[in-house]
Amino acid sequence: MSDTSRLIRPVGDHSFAAIDFESAGEMPGHTDVPIQVGVAVMHRDAIAPEGLFRSYIHTDRPVTWQASRVHGIRKSDLRGAPAMADLWDPLHSLLHGRVIVSHHASTEKRYLGLFPLHPFGPWVDTLEVSRRLYPGLEDYTLGGLLRLFRIEDELQHLCPDWQYHDACYDAAGALILLRFMVEQANLWSAPLEMLLDLSSGRG
């Protein structure tokens, strides 16, 4: 399918995959690295538990105290975890051919860039969409928006064992947020290009 024909198809005809990474935290002289990835898949408007993927990621770097305080991941959690390169097959199968979703997508784009010439996209950044559809809010964090719109219960039901700053929990939350905003803005029958324009993120 050409890029042009994909852009003019209705939003509701597309399959979406949200991705989120948690990192080891910034340290002087060291590049920040991913230590957990989560993916959630939505076909049209349905998010199914079997479409959730979650994995820790091996690193030789320590996890900073500041980062661990946020996401709760410790170095001991990463024992036996696959390297980022070893996650190519599952990530490719989940992301390829789908519209990629993230809340503040710059981090996810940067870490997926570890796969040179990766074929993923186009991208929808739910942070940017929320800022354009709902200007003037005090809190644009993922949790803040889900609570404001009273759609947090579905996320807790879908991922009962996890919480915010778990990569899979946040990925699923981004899909729930996206679906809510698309419904509220009556975008299901609009061309995908309109949603991408709201996001300002075409890859």
Whole-number average pLDDT of the chain: 91
The mean pLDDT value for 76-95 works out to: 94
What is the radius of gyration, based on Cα positions, of the chain? 17
pLDDT digits (tens, 9 = 90+) for 131-160: 999 999 999 999 999 999 999 999 999 999
pLDDT value of residue 201 = 45
Q: How many CB atoms lie within 10 A of CB 166?
A: 21
- pLDDT score, position 5: 77
pLDDT at 114: 81
Q: What residues are paired with 42 via a beta bridge? A: 16, 47
Structure confidence at residue 50 (pLDDT):
85
What domains does the chain contain, in order, with CATH numbers?
Answer: 3-199 (3.30.420.10)
Average pLDDT over residues 45-69: 91
Mean pLDDT of 97-119: 88
Q: Kindly list the distances between the CA atom of residue 24 and the CA atoms of 80, 82, 93, 113, 143, in Å, as whole numbers in the listed order.
A: 16, 15, 25, 17, 21
pLDDT number for residue 4: 73
CA distance linking residue 95 with residue 101, whole number of Å: 10
Per-residue model confidence (pLDDT) at position 1: 54
Q: Is the pLDDT of residue 3 over 80?
A: no
Per-residue pLDDT of 151-197, as tens digits, reads: 999 999 999 999 999 999 999 999 999 999 999 999 999 999 999 99
Cα-based distances in Å from 189 to 118, 123, 193, 195, 201: 29, 18, 11, 11, 20
Closest CA to 38 of 131, 101, 99: 101
Inter-CA distances, 139 with 131, 147, 148, 182, 200, Å: 10, 10, 9, 19, 20
The answer on pLDDT for 2 being more than 60 is no
Whether residue 64 has pLDDT greater than 70: yes
- The answer for residues whose C-beta is within 8 angstroms of residue 11's C-beta and 6 or more apart is 182, 187, 188, 189, 190, 191, 192, 194, 195
* DSSP label at residue 27: B
